[in-house]
Amino acid sequence: MRQFEQMDVYTPNTANGITNARDKLRANQILSRHNIALPATTFVRNRADLRPAIESVGGAPVVIKLLEGTQGIGVILAPTVKVAEAIIETLHSTKQNVLIQKFIAESRGRDIRALVVGDRVVAAMRRVASGDEFRSNVHRGGSVERVELTPEYEQAAVRSAQIMGLKVAGVDMLEGNEGPLVMEVNSSPGLQGIETATNLDVAGAIIDYIGNQVAFPEIDVRQRLTVSTGYGVAELLVHGDADLIGKTLGESGLWERDITVLTLHRGTTVIPNPRKGVVLEAEDRLLCFGKLEEMRSMIPERRRRRQKVRRLPKEPIPVSDVAS
Ligand SMILES: Nc1ncnc2c1ncn2[C@@H]1O[C@H](COP(=O)(O)OP(=O)(O)OP(=O)(O)O)[C@@H](O)[C@H]1O
Ligand SMILES: [Mg+2]
């Protein structure tokens, strides 16, 4: 991938994004850290942790997934805790790692695939499992239909793709009672199925997107912004007790300290190029460019390490104690 970048060939999906998306466990961790709603999921290695893990995602029935499964193979619905334990133990004994996931019953054998290109969903379909099957994969006999997504589903899909660092992605979501639950973000989604189901020219949308992007090639922003000595980028968090709260960006004094706020992250929303009048709230995260020295003073000091190790006894330790 690197070689290609250096050859000046534009790739919409970075090597990093692809690597992260391929690893189900890693993808889960990245998405949940960014407050994307996912089905409750855990991962265990030890037998002793199994039962509490299953209970922690809501008990049986429970979904078990092989980390490297595909096309629905390796996705099992275990009806009871006992059966779940037996299956997981069997898989562990053959050195296969699994995810344990809450069974989203209300999704009733259906899932949504949204095809994200850039910052929008260009096509979406619903896959419906056949008969009493809970897996909606086409390879498991599922059928597909075109679907119009609500903004809530579109946003979940676009944000998930962006968080994973993917400009082209297939985002799979279950339809939970409280809205979309992201199951997976695919970095090389198939196009044929969704084009047939929706009658839309998805490949064309991808080509148009790439055409527009080559005018703005990716640049390593951090590297470019740190070429002037003493300057760099940092994320500053507005702490709950900070005197910045309630002040506007203009009143914050940041600009006077040679700090420019590039973006403001508030919960799941992002305000690019925030203006002077924006009022700061607790837990806002400010992505800043400025004098490192000034920004360092705004980052709370790390908790100090415990100062001393236990003092050694003056007398030599009796041999009998050492042995026990
Ligand atoms: N937690 C869950 N609750 C209800 N249904 C689920 C759940 N997880 C998966 N399913 C159903 O099982 C199908 C297959 O699951 P999943 O997409 O995770 O595996 P896969 O298709 O084998 O993997 P990949 O999508 O990486 O190829 C989903 O499309 C969905 O219909
Ligand atoms: Mg799938």
Query: Cα dist. 238→118, 253, 294 in Å?
Result: 30, 14, 15
| Residue 313 in domain | no
Q: How far apart are CA 123 and CA 144, in angstroms?
A: 13
Closest-CA residue, ligand 1 atom 18, reads 183
Ligand 2 center to residue 76 CA distance, Å?
A: 13
Question: Residue 231's domain spans which residues?
Answer: 221-296
171-180, 247-256, 301-310: least confidently modelled range: 301-310
Is 245 in the same domain as 155?
no
Q: Which helix (H) or strand (E) holds 260?
A: strand 259-266
Residue 6: is its pLDDT beyond 60?
Answer: no
Residue 232: is its pLDDT beyond 50?
Answer: yes
Ligand 2 center to residue 242 CA distance, Å?
A: 45
- Best residue among 75, 112, 130, 171 to mutate for probing ligand 1, ranked by most atoms within 8 Å of CB: 75
Residue type, 185: V
The b-or-e profile of 192-215 (16+ CB within 10 A means b, else e) is: ebbbebbebebeebbeebbeeeee
Is 115 in the same domain as 209?
yes
Average pLDDT, the chain: 89
Indicate the burial class of 37 (C-beta count within 10 angstroms; 0-12, 13-18, 19 or more): middle
pLDDT number for residue 184: 94
Please tell me whether residue 171 adopts helix, strand or coil conformation.
strand
- DSSP code at position 247: -
Ligand 1 center to residue 206 CA distance, Å?
A: 25
Q: How far apart are CA 279 and CA 144, in angstroms?
A: 46
Is 45 in the same domain as 99?
yes
| Residue 75 in domain | yes
| Residue 70 in domain | yes
Please tell me whether residue 20 adopts helix, strand or coil conformation.
helix
| Residue 259 in domain | yes
pLDDT number for residue 302: 61
Q: How far apart are CA 173 and CA 203, in angstroms?
A: 22
Judged by its nearest atom, the ligand closest to the C-alpha of residue 24 is: 1
Better-scored residue on pLDDT, 2 or 244: 244
Is 123 in the same domain as 156?
yes
Please tell me whether residue 182 adopts helix, strand or coil conformation.
strand
Residues of the chain with pLDDT > 70: what percent?
90
Domain final residue, candidates 73, 104, 135: 104
Ligand 1 center to residue 121 CA distance, Å?
A: 20
126 pairs with which residues across the strands? 112, 145
pLDDT number for residue 304: 53
286 pairs with which residues across the strands? 236, 264
pLDDT in tens, 64-99: 999 877 788 999 999 999 999 999 999 999 999 999
pLDDT number for residue 307: 59
Domain containing 259 — which CATH number? 3.30.70.1450
pLDDT number for residue 300: 65
Closest-CA residue, ligand 1 atom 15, reads 72
Domain final residue, candidates 193, 213, 233: 213
Q: Are the CB atoms for 233 and 225 separated by under 8 Å?
A: yes
| Residue 308 in domain | no
Is 98 in the same domain as 27?
yes
Q: Which helix (H) or strand (E) holds 115?
A: strand 110-117
pLDDT in tens, 95-154: 999 999 999 999 989 999 999 999 999 999 999 999 999 999 988 999 999 999 999 999
Please state the atom number of ligand 1 nearest to the C-alpha of residue 104.
3
| Residue 48 in domain | yes
- Grade residue 311 by pLDDT with cuts at 50, 70 and 90: low
Is 177 in the same domain as 242?
no
pLDDT number for residue 58: 95
- Grade residue 298 by pLDDT with cuts at 50, 70 and 90: confident
Ligand 2 center to residue 39 CA distance, Å?
A: 14
Is 203 in the same domain as 258?
no
Is 78 in the same domain as 9?
yes
pLDDT in tens, 167-225: 999 999 999 999 999 999 999 999 999 999 999 999 999 999 998 888 777 778 888 88
Is 197 in the same domain as 248?
no
| Residue 57 in domain | yes
The closest of 200, 205, 195 to 144, measured between CA atoms, is 195
Please state the atom number of ligand 1 nearest to the C-alpha of residue 65.
18
Q: How far apart are CA 90 and CA 27, in angstroms?
A: 25
pLDDT number for residue 72: 87
- Residues having CB within 6 Å of any atom of ligand 1: 39, 63, 65, 69-72, 74-75, 101-104, 107, 111, 134-137, 172, 174, 183-184
Is 76 in the same domain as 63?
yes
Q: How many other CB atoms sit within 10 Å of the CB of residue 217?
A: 9
pLDDT number for residue 11: 82
Is 253 in the same domain as 200?
no
Average pLDDT over residues 152-175: 97
Q: How far apart are CA 80 and CA 61, in angstroms?
A: 6
Domain containing 122 — which CATH number? 3.30.470.20
| Residue 114 in domain | yes
Quote the tokens at residue 48. 């002793």
For the chain, the domain total comes to 3
pLDDT number for residue 305: 59
pLDDT number for residue 303: 55
Better-scored residue on pLDDT, 227 or 153: 153
Bond preceding residue 313 cis, omega within 30 of 0:
no
Q: Are the CB atoms for 21 and 169 separated by under 8 Å?
A: yes
Residue 1: is its pLDDT beyond 50?
Answer: no
Average pLDDT over residues 49-55: 95
Most confident range, picked from 6-10, 34-38, 219-223: 34-38
Ligand 2 center to residue 66 CA distance, Å?
A: 12
Judged by its nearest atom, the ligand closest to the C-alpha of residue 61 is: 1
Ligand 2 center to residue 71 CA distance, Å?
A: 6
Is 231 in the same domain as 209?
no
